[in-house]
Each structure stands twice: as structure tokens, then as C-alpha cells.
Amino acid sequence: MISLHTSPLDQPGTGDAGGMNVYVVELSRRLAQRGISVDVFTRATSSRLPPVVEAAEGVLVRHVAAGPFEGLTKGELPGQLCTFAREVLRAEVSHPVGHYDVVHSHYWLSGQVGALARDRWQVPLVHSMHTMAKVKNAALAEGDTPEPAARLIGEEQVVEAADLLVANTALERQQLVDLYDADPARVAVVHPGVDLSVFRPRDRSETRRELGLPEDAVVLLFAGRIQPLKAPDVLLRAVAVLLDDDPSLRQRIVVPVVGGPSGTGLEHPDSLAELAAELGISDVVRFIPPVTQPDLATWCAAATAVAVPSYNESFGLVAVEAQATGTPVVAAAVGGLTTVVSDGESGLLVEGHDPRDWAAALRRLVDEPDLLARLQRGARVQAAEFSWERTATRTLAAYEAAHHLMRAEMAS
């Protein structure tokens, strides 16, 4: 595995750490449980990090020194690709020839390194985009910065170099074909999963007592990185509309925001708190630093609903995780969220980002207890369709397909 710009050991919910971190570590763990040794190469961000860390039995995270340990933004990392690639190739030399059977790269920066390793080691390159610049630029949030031309070109190069691309959803597969001219025969759809032993239904009263939440509260949760792309401001503006329309709700509503600044959100780390004050809802909003997966499961289980108002999501792991706890999701009808959330069955999909439309959707969960109960039941059913074990099985099939494709190409 190559995960250059963010380590699977990093805490999801802040900086560049998010769903991709969870994906890499959970998939690696499931592969290791099947007797497959997994090395994850990532860039070292501190001199205190040991060269190798065992993340789980059979999973080694290898910290590669490439550039200054601290202070480099994701936009500056392309300048360190050569150094990173050199160190990855050097690590392989210490093993017998043929030590690695496949390279699986994550995000375009890693794909650039993966393409070099593929050619050097003569093993297939499987690549997961996770996000795509052309998709992101087509649906920018207000105040967000477009992805640079260098990334667009880099992604096109990786798509061309990879033996097989792994798409999270059928929609992402079509985007790869339409926007990047990917060969449809070289794109496999493999849904990410959820750890159903961690994200599971729990007694709502119990979880609320643990978190200090009123038992009868309407808890509308946002969990994720605080940046324009994730659009937590949409939830806050919708809550302001709810309270303007029905001031009596102020005594019951709680809006936990679990996560930290990321991306362009780092430029104004306090912007969401300032927006809450501007909207006059600071008294109902609680800002919670990023939490571990078990703690996130507790927050999800305690919520009335989890809001995912992103402008784009290649999948939307938090939506699956929330549903696995039996909590409905109110999500933007974009990207992978249209696959993850079954509209009217496990949650509600909202077209666009107008706060009034979002307020109307959230109001339904407050006013219609029968709907809320039905969505709670449907959320558990929907989440059961996604598991990391199933993801691992299908990923292994993708690796086999990549081997066949590479051999066929070399023979032609």
C-alpha cells in the first residue's frame, strides 16, 4: 500500500486525515487476517516517528523521510515525489526479488510513486482515487479553492498507468470513464465497508448519558473535517432556520460538530464558531475535537440524525458508520452518498445546499416519529450491506484481475 500524504495511523477528522485513512487501515487489517502481509508506505511527518510501526498483526506502516517533517502542505508534496519514490524502491531492495505481489496506491500522489514501483518491480498497480480533481472542481463550495492543473494532469497520468482502478461506486466508475477516459474493462467497483463490531446499535439513553446530552434532546450531528467541501455551515444555517421558525426547539436541540479544521478550512480555523455566533445559535452548538472510532460510534448512536451536507463525496464513510448504529442520515444527493443512503428508507437525500431545504428535511425527523422510527430500522438494514470483510474479498479479486491484465499486456 502507498498512502503518501496521510498515514493510516493519523487520527481521522482533522488535517488531511479522513475516510481514506480508515479505508487503508481497515482494508489492510482484513487482508492481513487472511494471511497476506501488508506494508503501508507513508511520508514521515515527525523525526520522532520510528521507521516501522506494526499497525496490526501482519500490517507494517513504513515511515519514509521525504522533505521537511513538518510544515509541508499537500500542495507542496509533489516536490517530494522523487525522494519518496527513491526510498520506497530502496526498501524493496532489502527483500528477496519478487517480495511484493501488487502495489495498491491511494490518491493521485501515491499513484505517481506506484507507477514507478510497478515498472521497477514488474507487479501490477491497483489504484484508488478516493477523490478526483475534475469532480471536485465541478462542484466547488463557496470560498473553496479549485484543484490545480498539476493535480489534474497527475491524475490523468495515474489513470493511464494503472493496471486496474478501484472505484468506490458505480457512479465513480462512470466518472473515471467519462472524465479521465479510463478503460471500462480496467475499472472495478468495490464498496468500502464499516466495522459492524464497533458501529452498532446501542441504547440511546445510555449513550446520551455517557456524552452528557439531554435524554429528550434533538441531536443533529456533524462528524468530519471542517472545510468548505464538507459544508458543515449548511447544517448550522439550517438549524438557524429551524429555530427562527420554531423558537421552542431551542430548549431541545443540540448540534455537536465533531472534527477539526482541514484543507482550506485551515486558513480560518474559527470560521464555524464565528458563523454560529453570527447566526445566534452558539448556545446549541458544541464543538468536539476529533475522536477515535469507538467514540465516534457513541456519538452516532446518541444522535437523532447525522448530517452529511458535503458538496461531493466519493463514498461517505461517516454515512455508513452512522447508519450502522441505527441512526438515520440526512445527506446531500451527491456522489457516493446516493449509493450509501437509501432515500426514504435509511435516511433522507437533499438536493442542493439551500438551508431552508435542509431545515425542512430535518424538521420531518422532529415532527414525524413514525418516519424517524422507520428510518432507524432501515439504517441498520442498509449498513449491513457494507462490511470490510466483503471489501477485502472484492479487493483480492481486483488484485487477481490486475495480474491477468498485466500479463496479457506484457504478452501482447
Strands 164-167 and 38-43: unpaired
Answer whether residue 335 shows pLDDT above 50: yes
Is residue 19 part of an annotated ligand binding site? Answer: yes
Band of the pLDDT at 262, cuts 50, 70, 90? low
Q: Model's pTM, two decimal places?
A: 0.89
pLDDT of residue 80: 86
Q: Could you identify the residue written with the cell 472495478? A: 188
Answer whether residue 11 shows pLDDT above 80: no
Q: Look at 143 and 48; give whichever has higher pLDDT.
A: 48
Is residue 225 part of an annotated ligand binding site? Answer: yes
pLDDT by residue (tens digit) across 111-131?
999 999 999 999 999 999 999
Whole-angstrom CA distances from 27 to 8, 34, 387 are: 11, 11, 10
Answer whether residue 315 shows pLDDT above 80: yes
Residue 222: beta bridge partners?
257
Strands 59-64 and 52-56: antiparallel
pLDDT of residue 265: 41
**Rg of the Cα trace of the chain?**
21
C-beta of residue 358 within 8 angstroms of C-beta of residue 234: yes
Is residue 20 part of an annotated ligand binding site? Answer: yes
Query: By mean pLDDT, which of 89-93, 112-116, 291-295, 350-354 is the weakest?
Result: 89-93
Whole-angstrom CA distances from 254 to 6, 44, 323 are: 32, 39, 19
Side-chain half-sphere exposure of 342, counting CA atoms within 13 A: 17
pLDDT by residue (tens digit) across 192-223?
999 999 999 999 999 999 999 999 999 999 99
Residue 174: partners with Cβ closer than 8 Å, 6 or more residues away:
none
Is residue 17 part of an annotated ligand binding site? Answer: yes
pLDDT of residue 67: 81
pLDDT by residue (tens digit) across 222-245?
999 888 889 999 999 999 999 999
Beta-strand ranges (E) seen in 17-106 are 38-43, 52-56, 59-64, 103-106
Query: By mean pLDDT, which of 141-145, 271-275, 354-358 is the weakest?
Result: 141-145
How much of the chain exceeds pLDDT 90, in percent? 79
If DSSP codes are grouped into helix, strand and coil, which group holds residue 259?
Answer: coil
Handedness of CA 344, 347, 353, 356 (dihedral sign): positive
Helix 108-121 vs helix 149-161: angle between axes, to the nearest 10 degrees?
Answer: 30
Is residue 16 part of an annotated ligand binding site? Answer: yes
C-beta of residue 80 within 8 angstroms of C-beta of residue 43: yes
pLDDT by residue (tens digit) across 15-54?
566 678 889 999 999 999 999 999 999 999 888 889 999 9
Is residue 129 part of an annotated ligand binding site? Answer: no
pLDDT by residue (tens digit) across 361-411?
999 999 999 999 999 999 999 999 999 999 999 999 999 999 999 998 888
pLDDT of residue 264: 45
Answer whether residue 157 shows pLDDT above 90: yes
Helix 317-324 vs helix 19-32: angle between axes, to the nearest 10 degrees?
Answer: 70
pLDDT of residue 93: 80
pLDDT of residue 16: 61
Q: What is the distance between the alpha carbons of residues 209 and 230, in angstroms, rounded to a whole number?
A: 28
| The three cell numbers locating residue 111 | 499513484
For 151-163, give one letter per residue: b (16+ CB within 10 A) or e.
bbebbbebbebbb
pLDDT of residue 17: 60
pLDDT of residue 21: 87
Is residue 327 part of an annotated ligand binding site? Answer: yes
pLDDT of residue 268: 43
Query: Within its chain, how far is the Cα of 337 from the centroid?
Result: 11
- What DSSP character marks residue 331? E
Handedness of CA 370, 372, 375, 377 (dihedral sign): negative
C-beta of residue 88 within 8 angstroms of C-beta of residue 111: no
Is residue 74 part of an annotated ligand binding site? Answer: yes
Q: Mean pLDDT, the chain, as a whole number?
A: 92
Answer whether residue 338 shows pLDDT above 60: yes
| The three cell numbers locating residue 243 | 429555530
Answer whether residue 279 shows pLDDT above 60: yes
- What DSSP character marks residue 2? B
CA triple 259-281-286, angle to 5 deg: 30
Domains and CATH numbers, the chain: 2-193+388-411 (3.40.50.2000), 204-385 (3.40.50.2000)
pLDDT of residue 363: 97
pLDDT by residue (tens digit) across 247-261?
999 999 999 999 887
pLDDT of residue 207: 97
